[in-house]
Amino acid sequence: MTLPLVAMTPALPTHERWFVESQAAGDWSFFFSPLPLVLTGAVVAVALLWRLVALRFDGPELPFLGRLGGLVPWIPRLLGIHLGVALLALAATGAFITPSIDHLDGIGGNALLLVEAGLGIWLVTGWQLRTAAALVLGLAPALTVVAGWTALGESANLAAVAAFLVVVPPGPDAHGAAHPSRAHLRWALLWLRLGVGTALIVLAFSEKLTNPAMAIDTLATYPALDVFSLVGISISPETFVAIAGATELLFGLLVISGAFPQVAVLVAMVPFNATLLLFGQTEMVGHLPVYGVFLALLVYGSSVETAGAVRWLPGRAGGRVPVPAPVG
């Protein structure tokens, strides 16, 4: 079942706006050209087939990873740490929510960075994380004002982690073990998948499929991204951009589907970790929430008790959003 994924991972996904001068997206003529359209259609078909096949399985698809399921109670605490460290590190470097927004100045800009740093510290402490996570979600209007709707969509991975913690925060004991109901866990994982999947899909379009100029600039500045050349395959920059965009789109759809989470995460971690060698600290800090989400999906997908919740989608029955129970 990993062949379609492996075939799509040569193009390393990265965030161009973090490393080259930002350019506006919207070149839909590139997306509607033959190759991007064909690749998009293939990606959607693979994602649908991936989920349909997964529905035939009951439980983890890689049973030998079952011991990871022992981490299930502490995933909310770990997600809080991932999000907190990311916010704190971004604030320390003068960036707001994402490494690309590093131009804030004046009293208003400094105030936003202080709030970001304060929330980061709060999340790391593990105390009353439902409130802290709700406040992180409350930063969305400020992000929209500062950088626009596209930046909001590209940063949906942070909102995904915050939304998860609103529904399933760490428990009140010293170690933060959480034991949510099945309904709460299902909804928390759904928000987690939707947020990260949305961020990946928005990035596929905003930095690649409708922004080929910026993607080509990135490739010219960092030729090591073209892993095809490492195996002696020569392709045009436009072809590379189409493949890279389709790769990111595929990862986004697979995360949203929740199907075969163990395989999907293990494959996705290859390109996401490979870019660390090239971009270092900025890439690591920017992707910390994504790494936390991958860990969560892998752990929940490795437990017999929670594997089904990872791919759950609301239907006619059981589709009502549960009211979070107070913690502490």
pLDDT band at 101 (very low <50, low <70, confident <90, very high): confident
- The model's pLDDT over 148-169, given as tens digits with 9 standing for 90+, comes to 998 899 999 999 999 999 999 9
**Domain spans of the chain, in order of start:** 14-310
Token pair for 254? 């697979």
Is residue 60 scored above 70 in pLDDT? yes
Residue type, 7: A
- The model's pLDDT over 226-273, given as tens digits with 9 standing for 90+, comes to 888 878 888 999 999 999 999 999 999 999 999 999 999 999 888 887
Is residue 320 scored above 90 in pLDDT? no
The 8-class DSSP code of residue 182 comes to: H
Burial 97-107 (b: 16+ CB within 10 A, else e): bbbbbeebeee
Cβ atoms of 133 and 169 within 8 Å: the answer is yes
Share of the chain above pLDDT 70, in %: 88
- The model's pLDDT over 294-306, given as tens digits with 9 standing for 90+, comes to 999 999 999 999 9
Residue 266, pLDDT score: 94
- Average pLDDT of span 82-90: 95
Cβ atoms of 300 and 261 within 8 Å: the answer is yes
The length of the chain is 328
The 8-class DSSP code of residue 322 comes to: P
Residue 14, pLDDT score: 54
Is residue 180 scored above 90 in pLDDT? yes
Residue 274, pLDDT score: 76
Query: What is this structure's pTM?
Result: 0.88
